[in-house]
Amino acid sequence: MSVGEFVLAAALGRRTRSKIDAHIINELRRLGGLQKHLFNEGGGVLSKEYAAVLVELKQAILRIDQRDA
């Protein structure tokens, strides 16, 4: 984000997110998609474990989002 973009966002009261946080969130979402695929392919085997991982991924994303607020 350039200085101009930052100043504009700040002046308009918009939240800004660092590129690193955005990259981490995108990576967590990608991992969630892969985990969901494994969950669907597993046919119910280890479903509790897969679900627990999905919940943890979602909570990690929310923690990063709340930290930026």
Amino acid at 21: D
Residue-wise pLDDT for 20-66, tens only, equals: 888 999 999 999 999 999 888 888 788 889 989 999 999 999 998 88
Handedness of CA 29, 34, 36, 37 (dihedral sign): positive
What pLDDT score does 68 carry? 61
Position 11 pLDDT exceeds 80: yes
Global confidence as pTM:
0.68
pLDDT at 66: 83
Which band of pLDDT confidence, cut at 50, 70 and 90, is reported for residue 69? low
Residue extents of the structural domains in the chain: 18-68
Q: In this structure, are residues 26 and 33 in contact, taking their beta carbons and an 8 Å threshold?
A: no
Return the DSSP state at 16: -
